[in-house]
Structure 1
Amino acid sequence: MPKRSEIIAVARDWLGTPYRHQGRDRTGIDCIGFTWAVAKDLGYEAEIPSNYSSHPSGNLLLTGCEKWLVRQERMQLIAGDIAIMWGFTRGEAQHFAIVGEDGARLTLIHAWSKHEKVVEHGVSSFWENRLMAVYCLPDTMEG
């Protein structure tokens, strides 16, 4: 049972890892692979789709989330959560990030193709307006 602070620490250990579509390790990783890798580093065994396009099916991704994550009814982010955001098609899941925190400010930790690596930055309105679902790892504890 991971604490939220442990989830964030493990996610930060991936900062700077190169971005690679469908990447699954430290030589290159995408946003879904990053989320999966953090879960794996914490001892979870999760399956994620492996043959999705550069603009993956939101339904395929959300089906995977429903199998191994716990959906939160709230649309408010808490550090340690997994944020699912729409991408090119509004209403269709296409991007995953782990919610971190820097003092009182929430951050997103994710593999972002625009920056070609895993990055962490504040949660701006750009990201808040794309939020479509919030999940957490099973048995996540506060702290």
Structure 2
Amino acid sequence: MSEREQIIEEARSFLGVPFQHRGRSRSGLDCVGLLELVGLAVFGNKIELGAYPRHPSSRQVFEQINKYADRIEGSQARPGDLVLMNYGGRSTHFGILSDKGVINASAIEKKVVEQPLFLGRIVAYYKIRGVR
């Protein structure tokens, strides 16, 4: 199984887990917690984006994700890559691209979901360093 397939499989194993701001377990997690736990399971280390408030600044988000991933064009994005989305006027919500859309810990849905990707919300795509 490729690393990309492992990323998707691991992310899907969290479907239905309740949303919890700064949560980092199967009892509850947020969008960063999902990235951290998937990274830990697939790569053996967390993608740590550091401490952040309920509504972090876009600058904080860009600085942190750039430590682990490289920005790519949308035409290059594939399942297993990351997508940064805009919610509430802030570019602060991450998801993992899948063949069906995006897997993310949704505060709106109150759980981890896989849903269609809303192109109007996309701010940037990222490829985790080392993933082929």
TM-score, length basis structure 2: 0.89
Number of residue-to-residue matches in the alignment: 129
In the TM superposition, what are the counterparts of 1:9-24 in structure 2 within 5 Å? 9-24=9-24
- Give the drift of 1:45: 3.5
State the Cα deviation string for residues 50-94 of structure 1 (Å, max 9, x = none).
2x222211111111100111221x1233211100012222xx421
CA distance in 1, matches of 2:71, 2:40: 19
CA distance in 1, matches of 2:62, 2:25: 22
Secondary structure at 2:74's aligned position in 1?
coil
CA distance in 2, matches of 1:111, 1:71: 21
Name which of 88, 94, 112 aligns with 2:92: 94
Structure 1 runs of 4+ off > 6 angstroms? none
CA distance in 2, matches of 1:98, 1:67: 17
Counterpart position of 2:126? 135
Q: Is it true that 1:117 corresponds to 2:111 in the alignment?
A: yes
Contact 1:20 1:30 in 2 (8 A): yes
**Structure 2: gaps spanning 5 or more residues:** none
**Structure 1: gaps spanning 5 or more residues:** none
- Give the drift of 1:134: 0.7
In the TM superposition, what are the counterparts of 1:1-143 in structure 2 within 5 Å? 3-42=3-42, 43-50=44-51, 52-72=52-72, 74-76=73-75, 77-89=77-89, 92-101=90-99, 106-123=100-117, 127-141=118-132
TM-score, length basis structure 1: 0.83
- Give the drift of 1:34: 0.8
Identity of aligned residues (%): 31
Contact 1:84 1:133 in 2 (8 A): yes
CA distance in 1, matches of 2:101, 2:74: 15
Secondary structure at 2:67's aligned position in 1?
helix
For the aligned residue pairs, the C-alpha RMSD in angstroms reads 1.5
Amino acid in structure 2 at the alignment position of 1:29: L
CA distance in 1, matches of 2:25, 2:108: 19
